[in-house]
Structure formats: C-alpha cells, structure tokens
Structure 1
Amino acid sequence: MIDNLKRIKETGIDNFMVIENEKWTCEKCGDIICVHTWKCTKCGYQVKLP
C-alpha cells in the first residue's frame, strides 16, 4: 500500500489508475483479475505472479 502511495506521488493519480487498470485487466477476456488469487473472475485465466 505504501508503494502505491509513493507511485501516486511520483506519477500522479491519473497515470497510476491507467497502470493499475492495465495490470488488473485479464489479457484473455478483458474482465477483472482478482488481487487475492491473481485469477480472472470471468474466464479463470491465472496470471503468473511476478
């Protein structure tokens, strides 16, 4: 959470939101990736952990 606040301060909230939206959008179907399971809530695509 603190890392997010640092990035917001450095890049601005608008840029932060664009990056986060891309990060948590499924590349297979465009739905939402769950932040807890790293799995798409619609198609079940599993994102690889960094």
Structure 2
Amino acid sequence: MGKRFLRYYLQVLSVLQQAGVDERRRVYLRGQATETQRHKIARAFAGDYG
C-alpha cells in the first residue's frame, strides 16, 4: 500500500475494528479493494461526499 492511502487506510481500519470486523476478514477485504475504491474512500474521509 502506498503512502498515498495510508491515512485513509488507518481510518477505515479503525472503523472496521470498532464494528467488530476480525483480522481475517480485514485482510480479505483489503485484498479486494480496487484503485477506484481506494480513491472513493479517500475522498469520503476527506469530506468530498456529502
């Protein structure tokens, strides 16, 4: 994972942990994320979606 998405990845990780998503499921989900999805997540956490 590039530095570009690290901040947003950590925010998503925190949300998933708070929701009770276990490590195995997080690893699976991380492996499924596309570049487009990473951009959307970054934009959402940056407040670009209202």
- Length-normalised TM-score, structure 1: 0.28
- Length-normalised TM-score, structure 2: 0.28
Q: Which has the higher helix share?
A: 2
